[in-house]
């Protein structure tokens, strides 16, 4: 059974995926999980021939910072290492440029404020 926190996270990821799909990115994989870490969404930006690793963050309120502020250097390193592992096992993407984006979702999940940061790190 999913925890309440995981259910909210899944909802935020669905919102992010819908948003990015409307921006002409194509889903490659969701919730890529390894012993190194997890990548929430992996998408293909066909306009730029880029493989995009997306971290999704949700904050109900921003009293202690925005959703995107919650990704520190440790998390960035973990995502980068997980992406390297992904690329080693998926040779079809070896010629693609990669980028790391962050989608911050704030306030209500029914009427969210979305902040998309391309090349966040």
pLDDT digits (tens, 9 = 90+) for 75-98: 999 999 999 999 999 989 988 999
Q: What is the pLDDT of residue 119?
A: 95
CATH code of residue 20 = 3.40.1350.10
The domain of 111 spans: 4-117
Residue 1 has pLDDT above 60, yes or no: no
With 90 as the cut, is the pLDDT of residue 62 above it?
A: no
Return the higher-pLDDT residue of 68 and 1: 68
What's the rounded mean pLDDT across residues 24-53? 95
Please tell me what DSSP assigns to residue 3. -
Residue 17 has pLDDT above 80, yes or no: yes
Residue 47's pLDDT band (cuts 50, 70, 90): confident
pLDDT-derived band at 2 (thresholds 50, 70, 90) equals low
Number of domains in the chain: 1
Q: Residue 69 has what pLDDT? A: 82
Identify which of 2, 7, 27 has the alpha carbon closest to the alpha carbon of residue 16.
Answer: 27
Give Dmax over CA atoms of the chain in angstroms: 43
The CB-side HSE value for 88 (13 A sphere, CA atoms) comes to 7
| DSSP state string for 28-75 | EEEEEE-SS-EEEEEEEETTTTEEEEEEEEEES--TT--GGGG--HHH
Cβ proximity of 18 and 34 under 8 Å: no
């Amino acid at each position: 059974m999913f925890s309440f926190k995981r259910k909210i996270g899944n909802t935020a990821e669905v919102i992010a995926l819908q948003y990015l799909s409307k921006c002409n990115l194509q889903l490659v994989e969701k919730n890529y999980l390894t012993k190194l870490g997890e990548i929430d969404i992996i998408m293909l930006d066909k306009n730029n021939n880029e493989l995009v690793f997306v971290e999704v963050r949700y904050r109900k309120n921003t009293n202690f910072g925005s959703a995107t502020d919650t990704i520190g250097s440790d998390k960035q390193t973990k995502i980068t290492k997980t992406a390297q592992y992904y690329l080693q096992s998926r040779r079809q993407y070896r010629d693609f440029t990669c980028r790391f984006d962050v989608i911050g979702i704030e306030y209500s999940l029914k009427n969210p404020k979305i902040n998309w940061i391309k090349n966040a790190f």
